[in-house]
Structure 1
Amino acid sequence: MMRSMFSGVSGLKNHQFRMDVIGNNIANVNTIGYKRARVSFQDMLCQTLSGASAPQGGKGGTNGRQIGLGMTINSIDVMHTQGSSETTGKVTDMMVDGDGFFIVSDGINDYYTRAGNFDFDSTGNLVNPAGLIVSGWMADSSGAVDITGPIGGIQIPKGQYIQPQPTTEAVFVGNLDADTAAADSWPASITVYDSLGRSWTMNVEFTKSAAAHTWDISLTNAPAWAALPAATVTFNPDGTLNAVSASPLSITGTPTDGTNDADPITIDLDLSEVTQYASDSNTELNSQDGYSSGVLNGYSIDPLGIITGRFSNGVTQQMAQVALASFNNPSGLTKSGENLYFSSNNSGQAQVGTAGSGGRGDISPGNIEMSNVDLSQEFTDMIVTQRGFQANSRIITVSDEMLQELVNLKR
């Protein structure tokens, strides 16, 4: 048998493999997060008829003579280039803009995916369409996320409550008019929350005293349980704060509605940003802590993958953060179907961290990554592959005709 016939067979077989890969690429042109594959060929071992000789005796050297024995597949590479973005507007849809993979788990094994079409299930787990739970870090009761700890499933049940937090600090800003007549006052309203989540509204009142640059501070419209010690605030001649006579200046008491007592509270009043210039008084509450209980009724996701909950009491608090994994060789990942990969001996270990760090891309919420298959490229490759297959089939046909001529020599 002729070598060319077996070379043609190898060409037919491996061009068919290439066509299989191209067909799979085209089939997945609309698959979320799909990465196209590419086939490359290499020649096979050659039969050496004669080796190379070195120049000698005034004669030049000669090259070796080798006959190739066909071709085979060199590699099937997965091209991890960025796919285009498709805007969905769905909060739980996410796209990695750059390097990195989402991590999903079945409770035993971790898988990696670029397909970020996630949703919450009936128990609040953030899952992919196959029911695998998205991994990340859950926040503690104060909203702090510890990204140094191990990752786990993200679970955010809608309708969950946030516990009330009592007020402990109130910060005032603004100006007290230096030209205010003695005994005139300016009220600044404050809403205080107790440990049961009840709110109490009262005024911190600033009254101009007869002494220069001095204001008396008192509590008005306050419930009976609230107390503020007699105190004064004095300013420097340039209008900046000099001192507050009571330090810290605090509202204290045990909130009660006559039936249910809350825990005793102490609310420190910060007046460091209050001034006294010759302009209208506008001192007001700038910020305070504390809030009533609330029910989770919405959430948002930022480019770092932080999921922030919005509660019915107006409080926003971090709930969780989505983790991303990167690999030294993402092309070495092994496909397991359903848009999933798992690590292999040549992909390297997963380097888990947050979006936007360690070379990992940002997370784009409300978007999903489309397939990176380029149909023009695939159709061009298909034509080239078809012609390669056709040419190799001609090798077999011509080789067969040559063998037929040999057989006909007997006639």
Structure 2
Amino acid sequence: MLRSMYSGISGMKNFQTKLDVIGNNIANVNTYGFKKGRTTFSDMMSQTIQGAKGNDGVLGGVNPKQVGLGATLSTIDTISTQGSIQSTNRPLDLAISGSGYFTLMNGANTYYTRAGNFYLDSEGQLVNSSGLVVKQEGNNDPIEIPSNAQSFSIDSAGVVSFVDSEGILQEAGTLEISTFANPDGLEKFGDNLFTVSQNSGNPTAATAGNEGAGKLMAGALEMSNVDLSEEFTEMIVAQRGFQANTRIISTSDEILQELVNLKR
């Protein structure tokens, strides 16, 4: 009886966490490059009332008798599937079609992102919305487009070209795309950024379209991979699961009350 009460408590805590993850997914349904989360559970240890018995030649085998002690949080996964690509016709908007992350620098710190809404700062450097510099493939130099450039473009390989003031085509550099053995193991840092973790593996620097990295699409952005219909369905499941566990607790409480009332 008391076991059922504590099992219900564990279930309530787990479904609350699931609702927290679902709420974060829905809040980021329009966040560029956002990768949704998923919550999974596992059963806790079980109390063995009677162990299993094998066939002894006289009696047949008997299965073990065990009572579960509730559920526990197993994982909160980052689902790194491709989000839909939306055309913007803005030349500094970039989307990766396939694997890989844009590489950003903040001094000695390196970050990774799928959000390709980039900008030019006062020095003509290619930066993200927070001012982090977009890393150039092969070195740590920023990609700079002179203020007197007549035009510029970024191709599917990430090569940034511009026409200088004299009408000559120049290359400003190539964007570095980083790939990981386990991209789901990256840690979310906030502000659309990821950082390396002990289980993501070290980044492999590449150019778009090479060494497993996806191709770039200029004038487009990758949207969030959150599916609202799926999230609302999971929300209903979590809500009903939470309610069912509260019923377990209230039923256990009623039984305890009956025991207390035995002696009056």
TM range, smaller chain: over 0.9
Q: In the alignment, does 2:142 pair up with 1:153?
A: yes
Counterpart residue identity of residue 321, structure 1? T
Q: Distance in 2 between matches of 1:53 and 1:47?
A: 17
RMSD: 1.1
**Identity %, equivalent residues:** 52
Q: Distance in 1 between matches of 2:13 and 2:172?
A: 54
Q: In the alignment, does 2:91 pair up with 1:91?
A: yes
Partner deviation per Cα, 1:124-183 (whole Å, 9 max, x = no partner) = 11110111000014xxxxxxxxxxx43432222322xxxxxxxxxxxxxxxxxxxxxxxx
Q: Map residues 9-408 of structure 1 onto 2, 5 A cutoff.
A: 9-137=9-137, 149-159=138-148, 296-408=149-261
Q: Which has the higher helix share?
A: 2
After TM superposition, give the deviation of residue 371 of structure 1 in Å: 0.5
After TM superposition, give the deviation of residue 317 of structure 1 in Å: 2.0
Partner deviation per Cα, 1:243-278 (whole Å, 9 max, x = no partner) = xxxxxxxxxxxxxxxxxxxxxxxxxxxxxxxxxxxx
Q: Distance in 2 between matches of 1:99 and 1:118?
A: 19
Tell me the matched-pair count: 264
- Judge conservation of contact 1:304–1:355 (CA < 8 Å) in 2: yes
Partner deviation per Cα, 1:334-375 (whole Å, 9 max, x = no partner) = 011000000000000000110001111001011111001000
Q: Distance in 1 between matches of 2:131 and 2:238?
A: 39
Counterpart residue identity of residue 364, structure 1? M
- Judge conservation of contact 1:302–1:364 (CA < 8 Å) in 2: yes
Q: Distance in 1 between matches of 2:247 and 2:49?
A: 25
Runs of 4+ more than 6 Å apart: none
- Judge conservation of contact 2:143–2:172 (CA < 8 Å) in 1: no
- Judge conservation of contact 1:135–1:322 (CA < 8 Å) in 2: yes
Q: Distance in 2 between matches of 1:23 and 1:303?
A: 35
Q: Distance in 2 between matches of 1:136 and 1:47?
A: 58
Q: Distance in 2 between matches of 1:83 and 1:157?
A: 33
After TM superposition, give the deviation of residue 316 of structure 1 in Å: 1.3
After TM superposition, give the deviation of residue 64 of structure 1 in Å: 0.7
Output the TM-score relative to the length of structure 1. Answer: 0.63
Q: Distance in 2 between matches of 1:151 and 1:368?
A: 25
Partner deviation per Cα, 1:100-129 (whole Å, 9 max, x = no partner) = 000011111000000000000001111101
Secondary structure of 1:104's counterpart equals strand
Computing the radius of gyration over CA atoms, which structure comes out larger, 1 or 2?
A: 1
Q: Distance in 1 between matches of 2:210 and 2:47?
A: 53
- Judge conservation of contact 1:124–1:158 (CA < 8 Å) in 2: yes
Q: Give the stretch that moved more between structures: 18-27 or 306-315.
A: 306-315
Counterpart residue identity of residue 214, structure 2? G
After TM superposition, give the deviation of residue 43 of structure 1 in Å: 0.3
Q: Distance in 1 between matches of 2:144 and 2:69?
A: 59
Secondary structure of 1:152's counterpart equals coil
Name the residue aligned to 1:285: none
User: Taking CA–CA contacts closer than 8 Å with sequence separation of 6 or more, which of the two structures ends up with the larger relative contact order?
Assistant: 2
Q: Distance in 2 between matches of 1:377 and 1:84?
A: 16
- Judge conservation of contact 2:150–2:167 (CA < 8 Å) in 1: no
